[in-house]
């Protein structure tokens, strides 16, 4: 078990050791060994179930599946216009290319030409007479090789192949907002103590702050790109093996595109090489193109796009523009807040509605806002349709209030941490702007523990002393908290199913509706089943996610993978255990409640026998050794019209302290140290969870510092469409001192073994990096000027903010 309770005993003046020496502090191997001997299979660290395959290069991804004889390869011809009518489409030169077997346009799709997940009809598979962004697929080519297909598809750039009539294009969310162009109606969330109270407080408050702020988007940059492999089966059946977070949705959209029913289509995904939300809805286009071609040609078809085309076709994290007004008192306590959030939705709705809903629901972050109005606008732009990304709008919502509190602290000359703590939700009794009581608040204890263990106050003085003596290099320090709601915004998505098969040799196979994208979901689910049946880890194996096995699954998203699928698998395993216990008691005496399953042994009637022997005996006695399980998250409800209810089963909490150094002559910044404390409840697997926190922190740090998306202001073409122009963080960007711990507090709600989600919330922890950079820039003007820093804080953005502070100071 993680040494989380020891945080209060640490010497605050003694810094944590470097990251490479910190494993022993984070995971107590002796305690875990004791728990294993006692029969625990959860709450202990286990390697990722595919780790040995990953390092050996033997893990099978979609492109590694052995190809059936006769497999063909598809590629997509992309639009070169941001907004235009297609006036002529001459595909004869494409068909004439060597190796080309077929070319498809929108009119060749036998069913529905649409992959929209929510607003049906606004997201075509192939453009039908109108293109709405540079990179939109216009036609698909199928050829005998990948190279031949891509070479032919590239002819889409030739004017003699596709002729356009250009139309006005809207390329920025601000321009779309000014024109009133939205993919969905605006959303308004409001909470007031009395009608008109918000405006009254804003008008009469002792202090007020107005401002604007911009946060960029982020490319998912999964290592495995979008890919689908479709194989026609008998009687109009279709098998689609693809890299997707949502096999059930792929099943439905493929069936619709083929003009068939869901039972005709089987979708399978063993694992993904990363997803981060980019393969929740947007894997659909690729699955549909491959399936349409496979059905028409009666041959297997694979569609694997290269990185440049992946960037140009698919959407990413929504960038946000904020316009806010806040009232506060002389201590820094927020009295009222109004904010407009404008997101870049792209040309279609996709998941922009739920993303904006979550952004609105996370504007409060960890803070009580007495009077608040939050307005969300999903701006329609002629760019790629943006989609899910780890955090799903939560980071974009929460960073706005952090920006506001940081500015309030600077205006008052106070430490930003003190202003943040002053505005925290009370330990109990207060509600969020959408009406959910905050019943499980541990942010006070968590932040206090991190403040002590990271030696925050002494380091604040050390940073001040360094800056006083350093005219060029400036250091910054920031501590930021996280409160993140866990559950899907849409209540009916909060359900899961699982199958558990116990074979008569005692081995166990588990299938559940979640997908494995490297996050360790299969590892945790296998641990849950092993714990429930009291067997060793080696007995349990998880199979590929398959719509033929568990139907009507939800996406593996919203940090709910372990919560939902773990509970469903536990339900199935528990039914089998109860049957085995009843059988054992009937054969060996005692009551079923007295039968114990632990350490691969069954204790019953005063004797013990190996698990596999009892299973064999039960099989001979015709006891059912398999079961299905189901789980639906309780308590949650939501009214999408009023934006009120309880959308989240519980909250996950965390905090991080980051220290940075900034070169004020070049704008370069470096994170020197990060201390993280994260609330994972009773972690199912501390090693996996710590790894998830580390990865989320670095990914979020990339979003806020180096990953900049840029569209050409005239053509609308995404110019940052490859690793040469789009910079994700590397191993060299990891802070040399990087201390990650798990907080010692079980989930108050009945989650799977009282654990908490760990996928998305930690991505908000590197807010501390951004505001540490802001702190360092502020030092240039003696902390008298609020730096106008945008995110990502690239060297260019930092230099612009430094110069603005110098001029103002």
- Residues known to be catalytic: 760
- Nearest-angstrom CA–CA distance, 326 and 334: 7
SS3 call for 45: coil
- Nearest-angstrom CA–CA distance, 658 and 656: 6
Residue 365 CA: distances (Å) to CA of 192, 380, 765, 767 = 18, 27, 12, 12
Residue 54 CA: distances (Å) to CA of 30, 51, 58, 92, 208 = 28, 5, 6, 44, 54
**Among all chains, which residue has been given the structure tokens 């077929």?**
102
- Nearest-angstrom CA–CA distance, 593 and 233: 48
- Nearest-angstrom CA–CA distance, 780 and 246: 48
Q: For residue 767, which of 198, 464, 366 has the smallest C-alpha distance?
A: 366
Q: Are 563 and 751 in contact (CB under 8 A)?
A: yes
Chain CA centroid to CA 2, Å: 25
Q: Could you tell me the two tokens for 35?
A: 């728990």
- Nearest-angstrom CA–CA distance, 29 and 27: 6
Q: Are 141 and 74 in contact (CB under 8 A)?
A: yes
Cα end-to-end distance, the chain, whole Å: 51
Peptide bond into 587 cis (omega under 30): no
Q: Could you tell me the two tokens for 534?
A: 């009291």
Q: Are 264 and 236 in contact (CB under 8 A)?
A: yes
* Cβ partners under 8 Å of residue 211, min gap 6: 322, 323, 324, 403, 404, 407
- Nearest-angstrom CA–CA distance, 679 and 761: 10
Strand order in the sheet with 238-242: 100-104, 137-143, 72-78, 301-304, 227-232, 238-242, 265-269, 545-546
> Exposure string (b/e) for 327-344, b if CB count within 10 Å is 16 or more?
bbeeebbbbbbbbbbbbb
Residue 530 CA: distances (Å) to CA of 435, 498, 536, 688 = 39, 14, 6, 17
Angle, vertex CA 319, rays to CA 317 and CA 321, nearest 5: 155
Length of the chain: 809
Q: For residue 95, which of 149, 41, 48 has the smallest C-alpha distance?
A: 149
Q: Any idea what DSSP says for residue 68?
A: P
Ramachandran angles phi, psi of 654, nearest 5°: -175, 175
Q: Any idea what DSSP says for residue 365?
A: T
* Element spanning 806, H or E: helix 795-808
Q: For residue 650, which of 795, 779, 505, 486 has the smallest C-alpha distance?
A: 486
Q: Any idea what DSSP says for residue 190?
A: E
């Amino acid at each position: 078990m993680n040494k989380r309770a020891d945080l209060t005993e640490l010497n605050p003046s003694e810094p944590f050791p470097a990251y490479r020496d910190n494993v022993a502090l984070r995971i107590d191997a002796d305690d875990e060994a004791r728990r294993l001997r006692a029969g625990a299979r959860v709450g202990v660290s286990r390697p990722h179930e595919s780790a040995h395959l990953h390092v050996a290069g033997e893990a099978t991804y979609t492109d590694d599946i052995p190809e059936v004889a006769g497999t063909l390869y598809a590629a997509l011809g992309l639009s070169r216009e941001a907004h235009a009518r297609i006036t002529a489409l001459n595909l004869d030169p494409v068909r004439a290319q060597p190796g080309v077997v077929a070319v498809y346009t929108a009119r060749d799709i036998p069913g529905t030409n649409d992959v929209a997940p929510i607003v049906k009809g606004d997201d075509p598979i192939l453009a039908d007479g109108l293109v709405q962004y540079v990179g939109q697929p216009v036609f698909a080519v199928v050829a005998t090789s990948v190279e031949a297909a891509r070479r032919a598809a590239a002819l889409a750039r030739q004017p003699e192949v596709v002729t356009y009539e250009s139309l006005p294009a809207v390329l920025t969310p601000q321009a779309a907002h000014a024109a009133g162009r939205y993919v969905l109606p605006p959303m308004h969330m409001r909470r007031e103590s009395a009608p008109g109270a918000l405006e009254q407080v804003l008008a009469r408050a002792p202090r007020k702050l107005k401002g604007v702020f911009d946060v960029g988007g982020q490319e998912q940059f999964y290592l495995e790109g979008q890919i689908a492999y479709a194989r026609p089966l008998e009687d109009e059946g279709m098998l689609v093996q693809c890299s997707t977070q949502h096999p059930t949705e792929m099943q439905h959209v493929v069936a619709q595109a083929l003009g068939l029913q869901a039972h005709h289509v089987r979708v399978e995904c063993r694992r993904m090489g990363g997803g981060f939300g980019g393969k929740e809805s947007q894997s659909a286009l690729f699955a549909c193109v491959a399936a349409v071609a496979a059905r028409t040609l009666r041959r297997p078809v694979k569609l694997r796009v290269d990185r440049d085309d992946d960037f140009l076709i698919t959407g990413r994290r929504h960038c946000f523009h904020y316009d806010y007004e806040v009232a506060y008192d002389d201590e820094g306590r927020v009295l009222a807040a109004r904010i407009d959030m404008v997101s870049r939705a792209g040309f279609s709705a996709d998941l922009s509605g739920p993303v904006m809903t979550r952004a609105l629901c996370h504007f409060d972050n960890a803070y009580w806002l007495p009077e608040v109005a939050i307005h969300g606008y999903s701006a329609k732009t002629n760019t790629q349709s943006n989609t899910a990304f780890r955090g799903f709008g939560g980071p974009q919502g929460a960073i706005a209030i952090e920006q506001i509190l940081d500015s309030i602290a600077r205006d008052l000359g106070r430490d930003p941490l003190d202003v943040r703590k002053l505005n925290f939700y009370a330990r109990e009794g207060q509600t969020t702007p959408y009406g959910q009581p905050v019943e499980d608040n541990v942010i006070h204890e968590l932040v206090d523990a991190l403040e002590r263990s990271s030696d925050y106050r002494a380091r604040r003085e050390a940073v001040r002393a360094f800056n006083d003596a350093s005219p060029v290099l400036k250091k910054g320090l920031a501590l930021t908290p996280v409160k993140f709601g866990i559950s899907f915004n849409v209540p009916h998505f909060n359900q899961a199913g699982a199958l558990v098969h116990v074979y008569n040799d005692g081995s166990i196979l588990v299938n559940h509706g979640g997908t494995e994208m490297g996050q360790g979901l299969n590892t945790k689910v296998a641990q849950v089943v092993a714990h429930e049946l009291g067997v060793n880890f080696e007995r349990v194996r998880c199979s590929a996610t398959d719509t033929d096995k568990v139907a009507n699954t939800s996406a593996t998203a919203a940090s709910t993978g372990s919560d939902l699928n773990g509970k469903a698998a536990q339900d199935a395993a528990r039914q089998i255990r109860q049957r085995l216990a009843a059988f054992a008691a009937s054969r060996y005496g005692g009551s079923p409640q007295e039968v114990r399953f632990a350490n691969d042994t069954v204790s019953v009637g005063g004797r013990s026998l190996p698990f596999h022997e009892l299973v064999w005996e039960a099989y001979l006695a015709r006891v059912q050794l398999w079961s299905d399980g189901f789980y639906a998250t309780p308590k949650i409800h939501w009214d999408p019209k009023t934006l009120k209810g309880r959308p989240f089963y519980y909250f996950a909490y965390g905090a991080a302290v980051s220290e940075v150094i900034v070169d004020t002559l070049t704008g370069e910044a470096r994170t020197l140290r990060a201390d993280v404390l994260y609330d994972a409840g009773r972690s199912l697997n501390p090693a996996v969870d710590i790894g998830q926190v580390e990865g989320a922190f670095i990914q979020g740090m990339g979003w806020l510092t180096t990953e900049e998306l840029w569209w050409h202001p005239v053509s609308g073409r995404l110019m940052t469409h490859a690793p040469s122009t789009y910079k994700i963080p590397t191993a060299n960007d990891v802070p040399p001192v990087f201390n990650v711990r798990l907080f010692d507090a079980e989930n108050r709600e009945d989650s799977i073994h009282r654990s908490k989600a760990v996928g998305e919330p930690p991505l908000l922890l590197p807010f501390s990096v951004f505001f540490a950079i802001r702190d360092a820039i502020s030092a240039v003007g003696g902390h008298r000027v609020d730096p106008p820093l945008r995110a990502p804080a690239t060297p260019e953005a930092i230099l612009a903010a430094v110069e603005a502070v110098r001029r103002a100071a």
